[in-house]
């Protein structure tokens, strides 16, 4: 089953566009991989929260199996990893709402 992969606009505008060309290309490869198998990354605390290593950074995403969709929500370094994970867990319902609205369009 093919999954749709989305990125939070704020993440793209504030972080991804500022990454090096090599890192952006690596993100594109990860996105292609996630369309086929969203469970390739390491599971974090709950089944739907996962991370994929991006050189010295981590790319965090949520898998919504019922919606057949993946939402890329954050990028951080190892130093801020736990803070980022905690923030994602606090906002997981907001992310789901955002994705549902996006899918309705």
Give the tens place of pLDDT for each residue, 21-60. Answer: 999 999 999 999 999 999 999 999 999 999 999 888 999 9
Biggest alpha carbon–alpha carbon distance for the chain: 37
Q: Over 90: is that where the pLDDT of 98 sits?
A: yes
Residue-range definition of the domain harbouring residue 75: 4-104
Q: What is the pLDDT of residue 93?
A: 96
Residue 50, beta-bridge partner list: 43, 61
Cβ contacts of 103 within 8 Å, gap of 6 or more: 4, 67, 69
Q: What is the pLDDT of residue 55?
A: 85
Query: How many domains does the chain contain in total?
Result: 1
Q: Over 90: is that where the pLDDT of 105 sits?
A: no
Identify the CATH number of the domain in which residue 59 sits.
Answer: 3.30.2310.20
pTM here is: 0.93
């Amino acid at each position: 089953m093919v999954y749709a992969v989305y990125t939070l606009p704020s993440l793209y505008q504030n972080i991804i566009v500022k990454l090096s060309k090599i890192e952006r290309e690596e993100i594109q490869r990860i996105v292609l991989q996630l369309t086929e198998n969203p469970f390739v990354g390491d599971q974090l605390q709950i089944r739907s929260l996962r991370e994929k290593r991006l050189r010295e950074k981590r790319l965090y995403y949520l898998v919504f199996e019922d919606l057949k969709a993946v939402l890329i929500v954050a990028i951080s370094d190892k130093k801020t990893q736990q803070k980022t994970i905690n923030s994602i867990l606090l906002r997981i319902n907001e992310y789901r709402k955002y994705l549902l609205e996006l899918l309705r369009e």
